[in-house]
Structure 1
């Protein structure tokens, strides 16, 4: 499922019309019919008020009005905007509507009558402005948007709510707030970026006969993770297997002041199904950590003032070849000499390396050490850490999450997991993957440590960096959703760990290993 810009979507439309041979009116008919299906399923009775602008988005609205009227629904169609700006397709659809004998009214001069109907509607259809609209709303759209929002009636947006920038998610003053958005062919970036995503309500993607070939023709590459794609990635658990089958992970974590982070990360890695996990912590931290978790193999690392000793890299180097993935960062803190220590570790590791938390804060002091990498590196920043890595404010990061995630990944040849709603996964190739899962139950300290452990656990099993990242991020979000069903407030990071198994079960066709008829079963 692709996520595209407004320009890519327009180019896909043109390609479909010119090279595939599907006329624009057919695409419009398909789009309108898709919206009608959603309305009929969700609001089968009552008056439907349709607001149509002069462009092709308004043309979709005219199709919706005709189909609903054909079905005997009480339809009130209101036209808005400059007649001189009506598109060719809009004019053709209006001619069809006239030929059918269906009535419509104009907003200008009848504002009070329209507002009265908005308040009485079973559902309002916003077909005023499409994905090309940008900037603040001009009249009459600002006044109509305000009238829609104060009506309290349910709102269905056609493709995107009026006033939402389809590329950035920026919201104009008096933008329409929809309960449901029916979008066509592909998701648009403005539907997955805050605050635009919040104004879209529930998003339904409708097929209007634009083929995948059109997406490939415009070089669309960014995608939305789906449950079906995750199900295909989930590693099998054959009966005839052993702990070595499911990989070996190493997590370097913890410091004198932060002993919980290594426990959460290691526990999460093991809950994903990782066969063997080694937890390396500073020597003085080991008794505290072993009192809280017993399943990992433990490795006490020489320390200085509660942190990993600068000369411990040599000792690490002796055993690094026995692991399939290494994760560094949860709870390690920052300390003088920490950047030099991290550079030495990066240079020593030739398997996928995950850098999280304070490893990212150390990295931000000298990003040039990434040039020493010998294998894939995965950075897992939250927006604040991303700001430090990119040399800008958290606000700037949140304004253009796709840009900064893609830029950092391509500039340094690394993978980036930019956490948030929605989490973005950027690859060195420049592709972005949007993760749909998650909930506010994850908005607590320790959730990031859990994610780090999950990424390590899945990469260890799969020996595939991108697949492991996708699985971990999706299932971490799903675990957060499961916790949120119990309580958005009381859920702890340790609860997220316990929800990993149930999260995996939601996407897995497989249960336990199949029973055999061997003696003893």
Structure 2
């Protein structure tokens, strides 16, 4: 398949058009993103324990949704937050509410550091859902701490959209930056994954189907992509 390669500004326009002109709300997008991630994780993980590092925004919500699907697939997931879950934004908060009802484990790095480290140590796969494509500058505080713990664990890491700490447009690696084994870029590949140090930090790149209507491609001045209905996730 041939994909458009976009900057974070172009991706922001796509997401905005999905919501405002097509009525595809963020929670719907999050649900499909989570399924894409879960399908790739389930196919490639070497074990049943998965640690999911979750930020407070939509990237974190994608990670929580992925953990829900993976739980239904028979995996044992632990959600790891660099903050108290009360600061989650609206849609990620809804995902977390569902995850709690499913009794998915959750731990908080600021107050449960050792539990977080153990969960990462005993996992077969780490899903990086800390920071999405709107990164501005170096990851800070406990975000940075969790990135360091993940990298030092030498575990397989699957990043959602782009590795946390990598600029999605330029490929600049801020400090610290997740060193991913694989990255699943949602809707379409981000330019930063293929530019500068992007390839080094992204690892093997996959693209996840996000049901982008042809009208959104047209309004974004991008070529329409027709997906193979048999695969929601495609290698780049």
Contact 1:165 1:171 in 2 (8 A): yes
Could you tell me the TM-score, scaled by structure 2's length?
0.88
Q: Of residues 75, 79, 82 in structure 1, which corresponds to 2:81?
A: 79
- Residue 163 of structure 1 corresponds to 165
- Residue 113 of structure 1 corresponds to 115
Contact 1:180 1:201 in 2 (8 A): yes
Contact 1:54 1:82 in 2 (8 A): no
Q: Tell whether 2:208 aligns with 1:199.
A: no
Task: Give the Å deviation of 1:82.
Answer: 6.2
Contact 1:13 1:210 in 2 (8 A): no
Task: Give the Å deviation of 1:154.
Answer: 0.3
- Residue 15 of structure 2 corresponds to 13
Question: Relative to 1, partners in 2 of residues 1:84 and 1:105: Cα closer, same or farther, differing over 3 Å?
Answer: closer
Cα distance in 2 for partners of 1:207, 1:3 equals 14
Query: CA deviation digits over 1:8-59, x for unaligned, max 9?
Result: 1122112112222222211111111011111111116331011101000000
- Residue 142 of structure 1 corresponds to 144
Query: CA deviation digits over 1:139-195, x for unaligned, max 9?
Result: 111111111111011000011110000111000112100000011111111111020
- Show the 5 A alignment for 1:450-465: none
Task: Give the Å deviation of 1:85.
Answer: 4.9
Partner-residue secondary structure (3-state), 1:104: strand
Query: CA deviation digits over 1:80-105, x for unaligned, max 9?
Result: 24657522111111111223333311
Question: Relative to 1, partners in 2 of residues 1:113 and 1:83: Cα closer, same or farther, differing over 3 Å?
Answer: closer
Cα distance in 1 for partners of 2:6, 2:190 equals 5
Cα distance in 1 for partners of 2:34, 2:113 equals 25
Contact 2:187 2:208 in 1 (8 A): yes
Query: CA deviation digits over 1:431-456, x for unaligned, max 9?
Result: xxxxx8xxxxxxxxxxxxxxxxxxxx
- Residue 135 of structure 2 corresponds to 133
Cα distance in 2 for partners of 1:102, 1:49 equals 11
Cα distance in 2 for partners of 1:126, 1:156 equals 6
- Show the 5 A alignment for 1:256-275: none
- Residue 175 of structure 2 corresponds to 173
Contact 1:120 1:153 in 2 (8 A): no
Partner-residue secondary structure (3-state), 2:179: coil
Cα distance in 2 for partners of 1:44, 1:120 equals 12
What's the Cα RMSD here?
A: 2.0
Partner-residue secondary structure (3-state), 2:215: helix
Partner-residue secondary structure (3-state), 1:187: coil
Partner-residue secondary structure (3-state), 1:49: strand
Could you tell me the TM-score, scaled by structure 1's length?
0.41
Cα distance in 1 for partners of 2:85, 2:105 equals 17
Equivalenced residues, count: 224
Structure 2 gap segments, 5+ residues each: 225-235
Cα distance in 1 for partners of 2:84, 2:197 equals 29
- Residue 42 of structure 2 corresponds to 40
Contact 2:165 2:174 in 1 (8 A): yes
Query: CA deviation digits over 1:258-278, x for unaligned, max 9?
Result: xxxxxxxxxxxxxxxxxxxxx
- Residue 69 of structure 1 corresponds to 71
Task: Give the Å deviation of 1:220.
Answer: 3.7
- Residue 5 of structure 2 corresponds to 3
Cα distance in 2 for partners of 1:74, 1:99 equals 15
- Residue 220 of structure 2 corresponds to 218
Q: Tell whether 2:102 aligns with 1:100.
A: yes
Higher helix share: 1
Runs of 4+ in 1 over 6 A off after TM superposition: none
- Residue 91 of structure 2 corresponds to 89
